[in-house]
Chain A
Amino acid sequence: MNGLSRFVLRRLLGMVAVLLVLSVAVYAAFYLVPADPAQLACGPRCSPAQVAQVRDQLGLDAPVWAQYGHFVQGIFAGRDFGTGSASVHCDAPCLGISYKTGEQVTTMLWDRLPVTASLAFGAMVLWLLLGVASGLLSVLRRGRLTERALTALTLAGNATPVFVIGLLLLLLFCAYLQWLPFPSYVGLTQDPQQWFWGLLLPWVSLALIESAKYARLTRSSMLETLAEDHIRTFRAYGVAERRLVTRHALRGALTPVIALSALDLGTMFGSAVLTESLFGLPGLGKLLVSSVAIVDLPVVVGLVLVTGFCVVLANAVADLLYATADRRVVLS
């Protein structure tokens, strides 16, 4: 087994461990709340007999550890809720059944995923373009006014919450200038053009904030790469600075940028909640806010686990990108 695959294996095992602890913590935090889940699922009009029936159906009369066991079993092998003719099968990976709609949580998440994925990927493309470009610009214009302006801008970008930027953009482009349509989500396969225009404002809002970080990262790693020996040699040979920056140094300098992108992309699946709430996009974050409002616990738990999984996965991918891109990093 070579170093790389050992590294991957180690990371995978670590991921599983983290997810396991996460699932116990989440399950404990949200299922042991004082409210009676059976009552929640059944609704206020239920008679005590009906509540008992629901409790049985959801397997809530089993001991807590057994319930957790069923939960985990559902994720890997699927599970049945209730017995006999009234039983409902929940396919693996089963995260439970919504108290309110009776839908499988996995299906609900799957339905919302394209929205959040469109939002996250589109925003990433934009923040990479913006961030790397302004980072490069500030390297080329070291010590000049442009650099100072860019530094100030990135500081400002870093300091602004997305709902402030988003609201101001809406006010400007949608209400005042009326250049852009009000953001809405249309499936990419349904109408690519509407998909693009509907998501443009959310993308820009997110990218303006995130690109600040990338500009700083690009600049720092570029400066470091430029200080390395082989670049100095090129410079000594009289290669133009612009060419040095855009051709030779860029490749090496982009590794941390891409690694951080992977990380942010993973985080975005959970943190897009503010953007989705602001623009009314029916993604995972919007689902979280509405599920929290009605205490639809299986959906909340499912969302926390899935977004946690995305973050853990992204961490691993970022590490892996490092490991493969930068051979000088000793694999452990």
Chain B
Amino acid sequence: MSIEEYPRVESAGVLVWRRLRSSRAAMAGLVVLALLVVVAVAAPLLSAIEGQDPTTYHDGLLNSALGGVPTGSLGGIDSTHWLGVEPGTGRDLFARLVYGAQISLLVAVGSTFVQVVVGMAAGLAAGLGNRLADQVIGNLSDIVLALPSLVFAIALMAVVPSSFPRPLLLMLVIGLLGWGGTARVVRAQTLTLKELDYVAAARLGGSGTWRIARRELLPPLAAPVITYAALLLPSNVVSEAGLSFLGVGVKPPTSSWGQMLSSATTWFQSDPMYVLLPAALLFVTTLSFTVVGDAVRTALDPRAASRLRVGVERPRRGKRRQKSQTSQASQTSQTGEAAA
């Protein structure tokens, strides 16, 4: 019987894609994101074309007596250094920015993956497990949501020994502090789906819990989870940038946009280009992710679109609603926290 499910899912995919294509903003966002991925993957190639690398110092291009500010105009932009050089080191900014894209995207995708996997596992276990499992997992995700995640992340990043690979640590810390929302969404969906006829039929047909979860629940869960993940992505980009900005992210000489912005803060008056470049990239990236995420949400659930497009859902009456409102608000504030 589940064979019949697949065409439905596939046609849903086609439908969603058609809806996405009709949104000009979403397409623009997708193009920008695709470009960013290409840039990140081809970072070594691109810097090779420029003839530079992200770690070589160029002290000849700096005015040492003035604190090491680039001598050229606009932060030292010329034909050999397309976007100028970094004050204090003379490292090539174009190369550092394209390599920075690697970190930004890698950590964002990786931490979203962790959030989704952990959140789905927890949500499914809560939805399918017994009362105790539900309660324990529910409370656990409540606590994760209640954690001041940024504060906790900063503290954790500082406590883990420096020898641990930083990008991986960033993914884990951001991921493990942000799965609460996904877990709630998945749990709620699972509870609803569990009552549906075809799942009950599968159960009667003798399928085990694991099989049901895999064959019957995962396909219909895909839509809400993808929607939620699409919203997590931009906030994870911001989280990585924020942690690197605070000096607890990637370690030198690895470049990341957040770390560049943090050293740029001292230079914003004497070398504005040094601020504007990573700031613009970070802005464009998060904006594209947000626009695409918004569009994906609309495309997956056009019925709710008008309501969802405008943000946090209002509660209906009843106690279940009451609870879900709070969780919605918490999720929003989590995302907001990353931005603040």
Residue in B291, B325, B340 whose Cβ sees the most chain A Cβ within 10 Å:
B340
Q: How far is the CB of A14 from chain B (nearest CB, A)?
A: 8
CB pair B148 A29 closer than 8 Å:
no
**Alpha-carbon distance A52/B317, docked complex (angstroms):** 61
* B248 closest partner in A (C-beta): A292
Count of chain A residues near B, Cβ 8 A:
74
Known: A18-B146, A273-B154, A308-B146. A289 touches B340 (CB 8 A): no
Q: Across the interface, which residues of B come within 8 angstroms of A210, CB to CB?
A: 336, 340
CB pair A224 B314 closer than 8 Å:
yes
Q: Across the interface, which residues of A come within 8 angstroms of B279, CB to CB?
A: 164, 167-168
Q: Across the interface, which residues of B come within 8 angstroms of A175, CB to CB?
A: 268-269, 272
Interface of chain B residues 240 through 298 with chain A (CB within 8 A): 241-242, 245-248, 261-262, 264-265, 268-269, 272, 275-276, 279, 282-283, 286-287, 289-291, 294
**Alpha-carbon distance A115/B247, docked complex (angstroms):** 22
Residue in A30, A271, A300 whose Cβ sees the most chain B Cβ within 10 Å:
A271
* B270 closest partner in A (C-beta): A175
Q: Across the interface, which residues of B come within 8 angstroms of A278, CB to CB?
A: 265
Interface of chain B residues 113 through 153 with chain A (CB within 8 A): 139, 142-143, 146-148, 150-152
CB pair A219 B310 closer than 8 Å:
yes
Q: Across the interface, which residues of A come within 8 angstroms of B148, CB to CB?
A: 267, 269-271, 304, 307-308, 310-311
Q: Across the interface, which residues of A come within 8 angstroms of B275, CB to CB?
A: 167-168, 171
CB pair B337 A270 closer than 8 Å:
yes
* B286 closest partner in A (C-beta): A159
Q: How far is the CB of B325 from chain A (nearest CB, A)?
A: 7
Q: Could you tell me the dominant secondary structure of chain B's interface residues?
A: helix
Q: Is A332 an interface residue (CB 8 A)?
A: yes
CB pair B339 A277 closer than 8 Å:
no
Stretch at the interface among B2-10, B31-39, B326-334: B326-334
Interface band, chain B? 35 or more
Q: Could you tell me the dominant secondary structure of chain A's interface residues?
A: helix
Known: A270-B150, A315-B146, A330-B317. A206 touches B158 (CB 8 A): no
CB pair A292 B268 closer than 8 Å:
no
Stretch at the interface among A62-70, A71-79, A106-114, A256-264: A256-264
CB pair A156 B152 closer than 8 Å:
no
**Alpha-carbon distance A304/B177, docked complex (angstroms):** 14
**Alpha-carbon distance A30/B157, docked complex (angstroms):** 11
Q: Across the interface, which residues of A come within 8 angstroms of B332, CB to CB?
A: 213, 260
**Alpha-carbon distance A168/B272, docked complex (angstroms):** 10
**Alpha-carbon distance A171/B242, docked complex (angstroms):** 19
Residue in A34, A275, A292 whose Cβ sees the most chain B Cβ within 10 Å:
A292
Q: Is A295 an interface residue (CB 8 A)?
A: yes
Q: Across the interface, which residues of B come within 8 angstroms of A231, CB to CB?
A: none
Q: Is A21 an interface residue (CB 8 A)?
A: yes
* A259 closest partner in B (C-beta): B329
Interface residue from B286, B318, B326, B339 paired with A319 (Cβ < 8 Å)? B326
Known: A292-B158, A329-B322. A167 touches B265 (CB 8 A): yes
Q: How far is the CB of A131 from chain B (nearest CB, A)?
A: 10
CB pair A155 B241 closer than 8 Å:
no
Residue in A163, A260, A285 whose Cβ sees the most chain B Cβ within 10 Å:
A163
Residue in A216, A267, A304, A330 whose Cβ sees the most chain B Cβ within 10 Å:
A267
Known: A21-B143, A162-B339, A289-B247. A271 touches B322 (CB 8 A): no
Q: Across the interface, which residues of A come within 8 angstroms of B155, CB to CB?
A: 29-30, 288, 292, 300, 303-304
Q: Is B307 an interface residue (CB 8 A)?
A: yes
**Alpha-carbon distance A162/B339, docked complex (angstroms):** 6
CB pair B150 A213 closer than 8 Å:
no
Known: A277-B246, A278-B265, A304-B155. A271 touches B310 (CB 8 A): no
Q: List 22 A-B contacts (CB under 8 A).
A: A21-B139, A34-B161, A158-B335, A159-B290, A163-B245, A164-B282, A167-B264, A260-B329, A260-B332, A263-B333, A264-B336, A270-B148, A270-B150, A271-B148, A271-B338, A272-B340, A273-B246, A288-B151, A292-B155, A315-B330, A328-B317, A332-B319
Further contacts, 17 of them, CB under 8 A, given A22-B147, A155-B287, A263-B329? A155-B290, A158-B290, A159-B234, A160-B339, A161-B241, A161-B242, A164-B283, A170-B268, A171-B268, A175-B272, A263-B330, A273-B150, A274-B245, A278-B265, A310-B148, A315-B146, A322-B322
- A residues adjacent to B (C-beta < 8 A): 17-18, 21-22, 25, 29-30, 33-34, 151, 155-156, 158-164, 167-168, 170-171, 175, 206, 209-210, 213, 216-217, 219-221, 223-224, 256, 259-260, 263-264, 267-275, 277-278, 285, 288-289, 292-293, 295, 300, 303-304, 307-308, 310-312, 315, 318-319, 322, 326, 328-330, 332
Which 8 interchain pairs have the tightest Cβ spacing? A216-B311, A270-B148, A220-B310, A307-B148, A159-B286, A292-B158, A271-B337, A270-B151
